[in-house]
Chain A
Amino acid sequence: MAVIGILDVDLCGPSIPRMLSIGRPDVHQCDSGWVPVYTDAAKTLALMSIGFLLEDPDEAVVWRGPKKTAMIGQFVSDVAWGELDVLLVDTPPGTSDEHLAVLENLKKHSRVDGAILVTTPQAVSTGDVRREITFCKKTGIRILGIVENMSGFVCPHCSECSNIFSKGGGEELAKLTGSIFLGAVPLDPLLSTSIEEGKDFIQSFPDSATFSAISSISQTLLESLQTA
């Protein structure tokens, strides 16, 4: 079974703990550093987020760049991840302190295999993701591919598909920038609810179109990582 780590470097808006139903465990230290938080006894999914470190979960982390950079440095260097097959890093939007900090620190310790870029279909979204693509190119990060999220909504009552956030932007962006289009994930209230409640959508709804989309994207990514 693969062992995965998730490092959440969105210091102002850490969502990973809630999405994985972790609540507020303490972060302990061991000889080799901070122990990440595991989602279950099998220890196949390890997490680190500032969300675990806040005394009050509603407390705002109002830090300027240098302090955020220092925290991220600690997250990369001081967490005893152990043997991982994949470390996923979830980032906030932008091309600023967090992104530079996580890259600089990861590069000190090991290689960075690449980046997945997530967009919605709208031009307003792809317009920003073009800049993120430039960030990757300038910092020498391989672009593993583009995922189009919130890609259409199939009405559960009548099956009519509505393109609430427009259509096709992800694929166009991939073509325009010479990147791989990994796939599109539809809007799905069941996925939203699962995320809210920290439930494993994959376990709960294995027959859904959403599961199929996410599965296919993961498969393509794994193959891409193996051939690199």
Chain B
Amino acid sequence: MLNLCPSIQVSTCAHTGTFEGGRLSQQDTKMADVPDNAPEHCPGTTSEQAGKSSSCAGCPNQKICASGATKAPDPAIAEIGEKLSTVKHKILVLSGKGGVGKSTFSAHLAHTLASDSTKEVALLDVDICGPSIPRIMGLEGEQVHQSGSGWSPVYVDDNLAVMSIGFLLSSPDDAVIWRGPKKNGMIKQFLRDVDWGDLDYLIVDTPPGTSDEHLSIVQYLSSTHVDGAVIITTPQEVSLQDVRKEIRFCQKVKLPIIGVVENMSGFVCPSCKNTSQIFPPTSGGAERMCADLDLPLLGKVPLDPRIARSCDEGKSFINEVPDSPAAKVYQSIVQSIQDYCSNRVTEEQSTS
């Protein structure tokens, strides 16, 4: 079904702006689309200077960059804008750090929003290498079907649809060993070719990081309105360090931040009821970070073994144990997100 693995070639890693030491400057870390064979100080294929700067002299891509072809927007962006015009709210779930509970949160956000049967909800999993959403949503082994209007997502309930590369793999052992461009192509297809229908909410679950998947999602959604991002962290500085980078990414691409969720926030022993900080907030946790960066802290979700169990069994923890402290925090977080989305609509209506 999918060509999963390129032949591993020892690439003739062409000279591509080698770093000479010291520190990476703003120039180095900016989001340039710099091809493999570009010279040092390549301005980026989509920049105004593409093909025209002094650094471009001698570059094999100079002619094509100077022609403007590389600056032309991908036609898929407009197509996706059209396709998703029937989606009222789009929410990205991001984190700089792996293993903090993004997919767990995305799944439970989807379940909770869909508990209102009048709302149509969809969950898109763009973690191409580690697609966890099918399992967490109880949809392992399901397949995607094609129809005249595109790919059909897989339905959990009448009003809750899911799409993931996991549905396109024939075995749980299949590895998707793809470099950036191929992952980007898949994400484009997910947005353009899936028959989402009319949706109240489209939630996008992402892998950790600030790379191809994140850039692509933002770029392909650039002709639509994205309500914002929910950022997930755990209390430790080691997580927050990466999450601050994710926040910078959001600021760079002008993606509004709905708020921050602190997962794994303390553990109450079921036996003696004492609380332990398994992942200690040595630098003040998400609370301090949000205060420093003036961001809303949507909630602090405690550790609860039943969360992991529910995810492994493909069930909604909030349905299974609705009265648990963790479920109550989730409910409150989802309410905040809903309020944010409705307030945005109200603001737009009052300004138009």
Contacts and interface: CB of A to CB of B under 8 A. Distances in A.
Interface of A: 12-13, 15, 18-19, 26-29, 34, 50, 53-55, 57-71, 73-74, 78, 92-97, 99-100, 103-105, 107-108, 120, 122-125, 127-128, 130-135, 138-139, 153, 155-158, 160, 162-166, 187-189, 192-193, 195-197
Interface string B239-254: 0011011101100100
Nearest to B17: A70
A179 B30 CA distance: 41
Nearest to B98: A93
Question: What 5 pairs across the A-B complex have the smallest Cβ distances?
Answer: A65-B180, A160-B271, A12-B209, A134-B175, A94-B129
Contacts of A27: 21-22
Nearest to B281: A196
A187 B10 CA distance: 40
Given A66-B16, A157-B272, 18 more contacts: A57-B241, A65-B179, A65-B212, A67-B17, A70-B16, A70-B36, A92-B208, A93-B130, A99-B177, A128-B130, A128-B132, A153-B278, A157-B276, A160-B272, A162-B305, A165-B305, A192-B278, A193-B282
Nearest to A35: B21
B312 A124 contact: yes
Nearest to B128: A96
B31 interface: yes
A153 B21 contact: no
Contacts, number: 255
Nearest to A121: B308
Looking at B103, B215, B241, B244, which has the most chain A CB atoms within 10 Å of its CB? Answer: B241
Contact of B23 (A18, A53, A132, A165): A53
A61 B9 CA distance: 26
Interface in B258-283: 267, 269-272, 274, 276-280, 282-283
B106 interface: no
Contact of A124 (B24, B30, B132, B272): B132
Contacts of B57: none
Contact of A12 (B9, B34, B96, B277): B96
